[in-house]
Structure 1
Amino acid sequence: MNYHVFNGDADGLCAVHQLLLDNPVRTELVTGLKRDIRLLERVKAHAGERVTVLDISLNSNRAVLMQLLEAGVAIEYFDHHYAGEIPVHPDLTTHIDTSAGICTSLLVDRHLEGKYRFWAIAAAFGDNISESANRLALQNELVQPQIEKLAHLGEYLNYNSYGETLEDLHFHPLALYEAMAPYPDPFDFIAESAAFKELAAGFLEDIRMTSSLRPLLQQARHSAYLLPDAAWARRVSGVFANKLANDNPTCAHAVITIDRAGGYKVSVRAPLASPEGADMLCMKFETGGGRKAAGGINNLPENALDTFLARFAEQFG
């Protein structure tokens, strides 16, 4: 039995899509919301079975990873988030690179020697590493209208992964993968898929709602926004953070949404001009993590908001 465990965002979707286009094995797919990062807990694999993990932090899944390895499960791990110490085990193969300009789909692209590169470019745009995405697009002789299509695709796929519950999303990530699966070429998916058209319409409507937002905190080198308690705000939080980062590349940004179970969820973007520190800031909080350029806190207690804002200002000056 094979298992593919992947983040439900653009990077996770495009990573698993590349691998299964290359090797379409029968597999059980395990995914969820953007912030469902402890996905290995859902895998019930046994000795002799194989698990491929994509775009979720090794450090956040370390205990279950070791249990599976000791049970005789073979694991291949692709990721770009903070990993901590990478275990050495004969049944573990890792492709981990936490550099700021890397995403998991680019690691898969490297592994597959560019076989489905346009999907990797879309993922890189979705993860807001646009410099890497543009460079790879130009190396592959894409023209500007094609590049813009892949950028929109990545952004829309990423947009679909944010929400407090699956009901907030336009598509369950599994359903979105199934819509992508027949398409080796993302340009065909863009031209033909009803799912793409629905995501585009939803994205444009939700991002329009952000035009009236005002910052909770605004300084020369950082800003923070508190979004209202609404499904559109939960959906748009990540792409709004990316938009702020792209519009103000020398500033850090935090987008805070209300967690209906209590407290807040936080998306952090380091300045694009110096994309480091987001993971270190978020890991100061119990449910925080991420990568150098972008991080998040899954549940910030209500009474810790002022502490977060102070540490955010301290981190990014």
Structure 2
Amino acid sequence: MGIARFDVFNGDADGICAQHQWRLAHPGESTLVTGVKRDVALLERIACGAGAEVTVFDIAIDANAAPLRRLLDAGAHVTWFDHHSARQAFAHPRLCVYWDDAPTVCTSLLVDRHLAGRYRPWAIAAAFGDNLAGPARSLAQAMGWCEAQIAAIAELGTVLNYNAYGECVDDLHLAPDALYLALRPYADPFEFIDASDQYRMLVEGYRDDAARMDDLRPYAQWPCGAVYVLPDACWSRRVSGTFANRLAATGGESAFAVLTPCPDGTYVVSVRSGEPATHAAHVLCERFAGGGRRAAAGINRLPAADVDRFVHAFADYFAGCGRRAHAG
């Protein structure tokens, strides 16, 4: 029997594009382990023994420390690329970690760095999808792309990222593993854009859902930013991350939170910080059993009874202006 290989990746643009770059550079069959954007405790799904190879992309070590130790103790070799909080990281002879939580870095850019830019167009798409338009545009311009090419790759990244948001895979247009398999034959993302029926379907779904964002209004607003509560609908769950990124892209130094209802009565929360160096988004989210990174973080399950407490904590954390909130 051959070596057992497992590829574990976040189902968003960054995770899929990181995985894609890696397998373009290191072809080989593997078992895919992925899920919706918030499905991050993925290592617990893996059962393997000595000699197995596990690669992990865009998943926080902090959410997987215990199963990681179990896999290493069983004799697996693990290679990990990530940019989220990693306070529980540890050294091990069979663990190789490439980690950087700088606000200008995403996991696909770490893989691109490791591969010396071999499949950079996919890293650029991921950076656009992960709300890193500045670094993405700089890399695209350095490659000599025209504005039309940059716009096409930016939309690709945005749409790949949009597809990952949902309470479960049924909320998505395409399961993340199926999306990865659809783009796997393409070393050139422009060919994928031109040839893929799956991508055309995703673009149509994205544009339909994105058109609804113009009618959304803040639940609470201050000089420092705003909190939005979206309707209980599949389209709002799909568009929540895109909406949060759009707010952050146009909000300057302001902070934003987007709360999306789940069928069980809880809320998924996306937080974007306009000042990640001094007010990291993940620090606030960790108070509510969430996590993430400096510029963008989230909470997977916020009880309805804690919404007002979160709103006041958000205002206090980012500007100390909770008393000036006006709910609507």
Counterpart pick for 1:295 among 294, 297, 304? 297
**Distance in 2 between residues matched to 1:312 and 1:277, nearest whole Å:** 12
Look up the match of 1:253: 256
Q: Deviation per CA, 1:152-204, whole angstroms, max 9, x where unpaired?
A: 00000000000011111000001100110010000000111111111111111
Look up the match of 2:143: 140
Look up the match of 2:223: 220
Look up the match of 1:74: 77
Question: Aligned AA for 1:237?
Answer: S
Q: Deviation per CA, 1:39-91, whole angstroms, max 9, x where unpaired?
A: 00111111111100110000110001011111111000000000114211000
**Distance in 2 between residues matched to 1:234 and 1:26, nearest whole Å:** 32
* Contact preservation (8 Å) 2:65, 2:88: no
1:94 aligns with 2:97: yes
**Distance in 2 between residues matched to 1:305 and 1:197, nearest whole Å:** 37
* Contact preservation (8 Å) 1:162, 1:235: yes
Look up the match of 2:45: 42
Look up the match of 1:263: 266
* Contact preservation (8 Å) 1:277, 1:315: no
Question: Aligned AA for 1:184?
Answer: A
Look up the match of 2:31: 28
**Distance in 1 between residues matched to 2:279 and 2:104, nearest whole Å:** 11
Q: Deviation per CA, 1:113-138, whole angstroms, max 9, x where unpaired?
A: 11100000000000001111111112
Determine helix, strand or coil for the equivalent of 1:311.
Answer: helix
Look up the match of 2:311: 309
Determine helix, strand or coil for the equivalent of 2:198.
Answer: helix
The gaps in structure 1 that reach 5 residues or longer are none
Query: Would the alpha carbon gap of residues 273 and 49 (structure 1) be closer, same or farther in structure 2, given more than 3 Å must change?
Result: closer
* Contact preservation (8 Å) 1:250, 1:273: no
Aligned length: 316
Counterpart pick for 1:115 among 91, 100, 118? 118
Task: Name segments (4+ residues, structure 1) moved above 4 Å.
Answer: 272-276
TM-score of the two chains, using structure 2 as the length reference: 0.94
**Distance in 2 between residues matched to 1:47 and 1:36, nearest whole Å:** 26
The gaps in structure 2 that reach 5 residues or longer are 320-328
Query: Would the alpha carbon gap of residues 142 and 273 (structure 1) be closer, same or farther in structure 2, given more than 3 Å must change?
Result: farther
Query: Would the alpha carbon gap of residues 272 and 171 (structure 1) be closer, same or farther in structure 2, given more than 3 Å must change?
Result: farther
Kindly state the Cα deviation for residue 142 of structure 1 after the two structures are TM-superposed: 1.6
* Contact preservation (8 Å) 1:227, 1:256: yes
Kindly state the Cα deviation for residue 105 of structure 1 after the two structures are TM-superposed: 0.3
Query: Would the alpha carbon gap of residues 149 and 86 (structure 1) be closer, same or farther in structure 2, given more than 3 Å must change?
Result: same
**Distance in 2 between residues matched to 1:147 and 1:103, nearest whole Å:** 18
Query: Would the alpha carbon gap of residues 159 and 201 (structure 1) be closer, same or farther in structure 2, given more than 3 Å must change?
Result: same
Q: Deviation per CA, 1:250-273, whole angstroms, max 9, x where unpaired?
A: 211111011111221100011168
Question: Aligned AA for 2:311?
Answer: L
Look up the match of 2:245: 242
TM-score of the two chains, using structure 1 as the length reference: 0.98
Question: Aligned AA for 2:294?
Answer: K
